[in-house]
Structure 1
Amino acid sequence: MFEERKRGGFFKIFITALITSLGVGIVMLYAGMLLAQRYLTTPGSPQIEQDINNLPAPQQIAVEVPAASESVVAAVAKTATPGVVGVSVLKVDSNSIYERNTAENWNIGSGVIVTSDGYILTNHHVAGGKNKRIVISLIDGRNIDGTTVWSDPVLDLAIVKIDQKDLPTIKLGDSDNVQVGETAIAIGNPLGLQFQRTVTSGIISALNRTIEIDNNYMEDLIQTDASINPGNSGGPLLNSKGEVIGINTVKVTSAEAIGFAVPINVAKPILAQLIENGEFNEPYMGIFAYDREAITYMDNNYKLDSGIYVVQVDKAGPAYKSGIKEGCIITSVDGRKMDTMMDLRCYIYSKKPGDIINVTHLSKGKTETVQIRLAAKIKDGLVTR
Structure 2
Amino acid sequence: MNGYYYKNKSGVWWLVFIAAIIGAFIGGVVTSYIAPQYLYGKVLPYPPDMQAPAKSYTKVIIPETVKATVTTAVAEKVMPAVVGIVTVDVTTDFFFRTRQVEGTGSGFIIDPNGYIVTNNHVASKTSRKVTVYLADGRTLPARVLWADPSLDLSIIKINATDLPTVELGDSDKVVVGQQAIAIGNPLGLRFERSVTSGIISAVNRSIMVKEDSRNSILENLLQTDASINPGNSGGPLLDAQGRVVGINSAKVSSAEGLGFAIPINIVKPVAQKILKTGSFKPAYMGIVAYDREIAGYFDENVKLTKGVYIADIDKSGPSYKAGLRPGDVILSIDGKPVNTMLKLKEILFAKNPGDVVTVKTDKKTVEVKLQ
Report the TM range for the smaller structure's normalisation: 0.7 to 0.9
Aligned to 2:70: 72
2:330 and 2:238 map into 1 onto residues whose CA distance is 32
Q: Deviations over 1:101-120 (max 9, x none)?
A: 21101110100100000000
Amino acid in the other structure paired with 2:81 = G
Deviation at 1:211, TM superposition (A): 1.1
| Counterpart Cα distance in 1 of 2:137 and 2:279 | 29
CA–CA distance in structure 2, aligned partners of residues 79 and 301 of structure 1 = 49
Counterpart in the other structure of 1:248: 248
**Which residue does 1:371 correspond to in 2?**
367
Number of the residue aligned with 1:186: 182
Structure 2: runs of 5 or more not aligned: 1-63
Q: Secondary structure at the match of 1:234?
A: coil
CA distance in 2, matches of 1:110, 1:236: 8
Task: Give the Å deviation of 1:298.
Answer: 3.1
Counterpart of 1:219?
A: 219
Task: Answer yes or no: is 1:291 the counterpart of 2:291.
Answer: yes
**Alpha-carbon deviation of 1:278?**
1.2
For this pair of structures, how many residues does the alignment match? Answer: 304
Q: Match for residue 268 of structure 1?
A: 268
Distance (Å, rounded) in 2 between the aligned partners of 1:207 and 1:288: 23
Paired with 1:221 and 1:188, the residues of 2 have a C-alpha distance of 18
Aligned CA RMSD, in angstroms, stands at: 1.9
Pairwise CA distance, 1:285: 1.1
How far off its partner does 1:203 sit?
A: 0.1
Q: Which residue of the partner structure matches residue 57 of structure 2?
A: none
1:113 has 2:109 as partner: yes
Partner SS, residue 254 of structure 1: coil
Looking at structure 2, the residues matched to 158 and 315 of structure 1 have their Cα atoms a distance apart, in angstroms, of 30
After the TM superposition, which of the residue ranges 345-354 and 240-249 deviates more from structure 2?
Answer: 345-354
1:266 and 1:254 map into 2 onto residues whose CA distance is: 28
Measured after TM superposition, the shift of residue 95 of structure 1 is 5.4
Q: Give 1:114-129 correspondences, 5 Å limit.
A: 114-129=110-125
Match of 1:133 in 2: 129
Listed one character per residue, the Cα deviations across residues 160-217 of structure 1 (whole Å, up to 9, x for unaligned) are 0111001111100111111110000000011111110111000000111111224422
Aligned residue type for 1:71? T
- Name the structure 2 match of 1:380: none
Residue 86 of structure 2 aligns with an amino acid whose one-letter code is S
One-letter amino acid of the counterpart of residue 335, structure 1: G
Q: Identity over aligned residues, as a percent?
A: 49
Closer/same/farther in 2, CA of residues 276 and 67 from structure 1, 3 Å limit: farther
* SS state at 2:187 partner: strand
Q: Distance in 2 between matches of 1:321 and 1:92?
A: 43
1:175 alignment partner, one of 171, 177, 199: 171
Q: Structure 1 stretch 68-77 or stretch 307-316: which is displaced more?
A: 307-316
Residue of structure 2 in register with 1:341 after alignment: 341
Report the CA distance shift for 1:127/1:316 in structure 2 as closer, same or farther (over 3 A). Answer: farther
Whichever residue aligns with residue 74 of structure 2, its letter is V
Q: CA deviation at 1:339?
A: 0.6
CA deviation after TM superposition for structure 1 residue 236, in Å:
0.2
When structure 1 is superposed on structure 2, of 310-319 and 277-286 the one drifting more is: 310-319
**Which one scores higher on RCO, CA 8 angstroms, separation ≥ 6?**
2
Q: TM-score if structure 1 supplies the norm length?
A: 0.75
Q: Where does residue 142 of structure 1 map in the other structure?
A: 138
> Aligned partners of 2:247, 2:230: CA distance in 1, in Å?
13
Superposed displacement of residue 234, structure 1: 0.3
Partner of 1:351: 351
State the secondary structure of the residue aligned to 2:292: coil
The CA deviation at 1:70 is 1.0
Gap change, CA 1:67 and 1:304, over 3 Å in 2: farther
Question: Which is further off, 226-235 or 86-95?
Answer: 86-95
Quick one: distance in 2 between partners of 1:156 and 1:311?
23
Match of 2:53 in 1: none
SS in 2 for 1:219: strand
What's 1:159 paired with? 155
- Measured in 2, the distance between the counterparts of 1:153 and 1:298 equals 21
| Aligned counterparts of 1:317 and 1:229: Cα–Cα separation in 2 | 41
TM-score normalised by length of structure 2: 0.78
Residues 300-320 of structure 1, C-alpha deviation per residue, up to 9 Å, x if partnerless?
553211111122333443223
Residue by residue over 1:237-283, the C-alpha shift from the partner in whole angstroms, topping out at 9 and shown as x without a partner, is: 00000000000111112211111111111111111111111111211
The 3-state SS of whatever aligns with 1:279 is: coil
Q: Distance in 2 between matches of 1:125 and 1:312?
A: 28
